[in-house]
């Protein structure tokens, strides 16, 4: 069987209603949109979000697909808009829950996604789509529109439905001089607008910025200026799927006769796919393995490393902390060519501080302009998209509440009444049909947390306990109890971790033991419910420790039956 299949061709019906809801993507990450008719469903994107700082131990967050559990037989396919993790990174976790559902996307998007799924042992049918063809999936007919973004082969979608034409305008900008030489297909967008668009779902992440977003070409000029000053190793960190940025770094390395090193599994993997599919031009004799870096003078090496969001296990973080084969020395330059995503600011700042301590020269957006150019369009570009598509309704997506609020004002400035601007919450179902729009209920949504090999088994209670332990520590109380009488028959033992230093807290620990004894003193008779015992002890001990220390450790009473 061929690696990639040709899209199926079905007959598109006319008339009817359409339901659209977001299972992720209203607040930037975890993008997943559901398009549903009475007969069919398509899913647009399947992304991940990265954990907030108050989610200790959590690796990733994926959308909650509970709404789809009893509708699997209606799902005709997952359609991907581009290759960033927040739009396709959830596939290895979601596809096993949706067996037999095929995935559609452009060449690079499918290539990056398939490699990730293959690594996880997840199989499905992959359909590679070009920009000239039409994909027909049940009640839906889909055309891909090439748009410029911070990764090549990005697409918006023109989706014909029984209710009318929907333009799904996730992440885009109007870059007239893109790195790959392929600008946005403005003519195709305008033609769809001439046909009549019922609803535009549009990126709004940079609506607060005036004008147009700058071209990616500016980044290479900044790399050029900085590398001329560098007499040591030249490090660049960016999003591992930002192939355009990686190409610019490669270009600069070649001009300055530097060898190129890729540090980090995700960047190595994505680069390999991009080279194989023709999206990255890189002479193989310029690439050296991490183990070979020491063979070359520092001024002859450029290193592209993962870690732009300060991830603890990233290559750059391990390099900065001396836990990697590559070392940082005085005279080395480190360039952060990516702004922190919401929630990762502290981690990025900590990594920058660690790098500075090594003696490296560290550059980031706060001190040097033009190190990062957004892949999202600013206010004037968003107005251009609205003018080209001329939709009856407009729905801002991909931003936070403040971005959506700003977009409402932008749309109103272009003559849209408030009734024509849709701002549903995540999980809220929007029904379109017969020229009208209604809110038609809500799907239950929650964050599904990925913790190691566990999917969804870490919930709010576990997170709360982890936060407590990380902030105030844990106290374990071991109580020997005779089950028949409920009496304490031995010495109570209290162990502290991350709360107080035991050797210097004898008095506090002794008083805590007496609190436990007093809490159980009025209990007579056999123990029938150890849960009550543990809760009763925990309540009294928590109150005492807070009065004495103004801290609330996690308290774990352990009842030992004698």
Enumerate the active-site residues: 203, 376
Under DSSP, is residue 509 helix (H, G, I), strand (E, B) or coil? helix
Burial class (CB in 10 A: 0-12, 13-18, 19+), 453: exposed
Tokens linked to 67: 């709404």
Residue 174's nearest CA partner among 149, 193, 209 is 149
Strand partners, 455: 450
Side-chain-facing half-sphere of 379: CA atoms under 13 Å: 16
CB 92 within 8 A of CB 46: no
Tokens of 488: 């304490």
Contact at 8 Å (CB) between 514 and 541? no
Cα–Cα distances in angstroms (integers) from residue 444 to residues 32, 195, 242, 427, in the given order = 14, 35, 33, 6
Residue 542, exposed/middle/buried by CB under 10 A (0-12, 13-18, 19+)?
Answer: middle
* CB 241, CB 151: distance < 8 Å: yes
- Among residues 312, 250, 273, the alpha carbon closest in space to that of 83 is found at 273
Altogether, the residues listed in the chain come to a count of: 562
Q: At a CB cut-off of 8 Å and minimum separation 6, what does 543 contact?
A: none
Asked if 126 and 3 count as a contact pair (C-beta separation under 8 A), the reply is: yes
Q: Identify the three-state secondary structure at position 179.
A: coil
Instruction: Classify residue 450 by burial, with Cβ atoms within 10 Å: 0-12, 13-18, 19+.
Output: buried
Compute the distance between CA of residue 394 and CA of residue 406 in angstroms, rounded to an integer: 13
CA-atom Rg of the chain in angstroms: 28
Cβ pair 379, 207 in contact under 8 A: yes
């Amino acid at each position: 069987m061929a690696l990639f299949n040709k899209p199926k061709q079905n007959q598109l019906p006319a008339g009817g209603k359409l339901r659209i809801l977001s299972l992720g993507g209203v607040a930037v990450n975890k993008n997943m949109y559901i398009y549903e008719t009475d007969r069919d469903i398509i899913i647009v994107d399947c992304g991940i979000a990265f954990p907030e700082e108050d989610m200790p131990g959590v690796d990733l967050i994926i959308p909650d697909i509970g709404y789809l559990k009893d509708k699997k037989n209606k799902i005709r396919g997952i359609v991907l808009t581009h290759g960033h993790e927040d739009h396709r990174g959830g596939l290895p976790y979601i596809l096993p829950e949706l067996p037999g559902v095929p995935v559609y996307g452009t060449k690079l998007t499918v290539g990056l996604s398939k490699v990730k799924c293959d690594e996880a042992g997840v199989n499905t049918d992959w359909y590679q789509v070009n920009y000239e063809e039409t994909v027909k999936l049940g009640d839906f007919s889909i055309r891909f529109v090439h748009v410029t973004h911070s990764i090549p082969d990005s697409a918006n979608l023109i989706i014909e439905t029984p209710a009318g034409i929907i333009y799904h305008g996730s992440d885009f900008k109007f870059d007239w001089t893109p790195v790959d030489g392929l600008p946005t297909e403005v003519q195709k967008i305008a033609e769809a607008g001439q046909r009549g668009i019922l609803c535009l779902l549009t990126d709004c992440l940079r609506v607060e910025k005036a004008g147009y977003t700058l071209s990616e070409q500016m980044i290479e000029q900044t790399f050029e200026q900085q590398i001329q000053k560098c007499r040591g190793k030249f490090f660049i960190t960016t999003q591992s799927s930002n192939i355009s940025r990686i190409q610019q770094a490669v270009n600069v390395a070649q001009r300055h006769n530097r060898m190129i090193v890729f540090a980090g599994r995700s960047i190595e993997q994505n680069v390999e796919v991009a080279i194989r599919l023709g999206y990255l031009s890189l002479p193989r004799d310029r690439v050296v393995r991490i183990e070979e870096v020491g063979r070359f003078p520092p001024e002859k090496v450029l290193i592209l490393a993962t870690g732009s969001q300060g991830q603890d296990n990233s290559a750059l973080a391990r390099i900065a902390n001396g836990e990697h084969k590559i070392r940082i020395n005085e005279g080395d330059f480190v360039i952060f060519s990516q702004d922190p995503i919401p929630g990762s600011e502290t981690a990025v700042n900590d990594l920058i501080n660690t790098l500075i301590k090594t003696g490296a020269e560290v550059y980031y957006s706060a001190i040097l302009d033009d190190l990062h150019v957004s892949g999202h369009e600013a206010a004037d570009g968003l107005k251009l998209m609205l003018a080209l598509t001329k939709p009856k309704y407009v729905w801002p997506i991909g931003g936070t509440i403040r971005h959506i609020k700003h977009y409402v004002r932008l749309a109103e400035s272009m003559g849209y009444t408030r009734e024509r601007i849709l701002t549903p919450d995540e999980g809220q179902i929007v029904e379109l049909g017969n020229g009208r729009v209604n809110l038609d209920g809500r799907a239950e949504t929650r964050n599904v947390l990925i913790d190691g090999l566990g999917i969804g088994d870490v919930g709010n209670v576990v997170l709360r306990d982890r936060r407590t332990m990380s902030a105030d520590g844990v106290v374990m109380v071991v109580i020997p109890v005779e089950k028949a009488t409920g009496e304490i028959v031995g010495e109570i033992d209290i162990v502290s971790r991350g709360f107080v230093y035991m050797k210097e807290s004898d008095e506090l620990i002794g008083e805590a033991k007496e609190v436990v004894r007093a809490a159980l003193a009025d209990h007579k008779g056999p123990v029938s419910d150890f849960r009550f015992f543990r809760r009763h002890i925990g309540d009294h001990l928590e109150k005492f420790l807070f009065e004495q220390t103004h801290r609330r450790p996690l308290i774990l009473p352990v009842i030992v039956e004698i």
